[in-house]
């Protein structure tokens, strides 16, 4: 990989992370919506939608191809030691390592655990 490709890859990661930062936790009714890059380890979620960066639209198709489709259960299993990258993600019955920039493209509904009365 030459230096121009490395600069493009780094720029894309930064753009996707910036996009993720703009998707703050929001509430729709009783649902909490976050990007997959923002959830806590062990937090149970369901994929809501994919939002690929404008300069990397193929990421949406690639994520869909490996199982990131609306309604699929997803959990963050672990984060990399330095900087938290990559993320170990369980989607359905499969486990993948995703970069933060890729995980930022996945919006999820955070499932509320029922509190014992």
Model confidence pLDDT, tens digit, residues 27-40: 555 568 999 999 99
Instruction: State mean pLDDT over 100-113.
Output: 91
Helix ranges (DSSP H) in the chain: 3-22, 58-65, 100-103
Single pTM value for the model: 0.71
Q: What is the pLDDT of residue 9?
A: 44
Homologous superfamily of 3-110: Ferrous iron transport protein A (FeoA) (2.30.30.90)
Looking at the predicted structure, is the pLDDT value of residue 19 above 80? no
Sorted by where each begins, the domain ranges of the chain are: 3-110
Cβ atoms within 10 Å of 56's Cβ, excluding its own: 16
Share of the chain above pLDDT 70, in %: 69
């Amino acid at each position: 990989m030459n230096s121009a490709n490395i600069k493009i890859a780094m720029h894309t990661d930064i753009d996707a992370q910036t996009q993720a930062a703009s998707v703050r936790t929001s509430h729709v009714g009783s649902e909490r919506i976050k990007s997959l890059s923002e959830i806590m380890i062990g937090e149970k979620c369901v994929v809501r939608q994919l939002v690929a960066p404008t300069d990397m639209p193929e990421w949406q198709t690639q994520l869909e191809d490996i199982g990131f489709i609306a309604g699929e259960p997803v959990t963050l299993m672990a984060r990399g030691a330095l900087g938290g990258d990559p993320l170990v993600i369980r989607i359905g019955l499969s486990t993948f390592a995703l970069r933060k920039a890729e995980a930022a493209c996945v919006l999820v509904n955070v499932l509320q655990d029922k509190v014992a009365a």
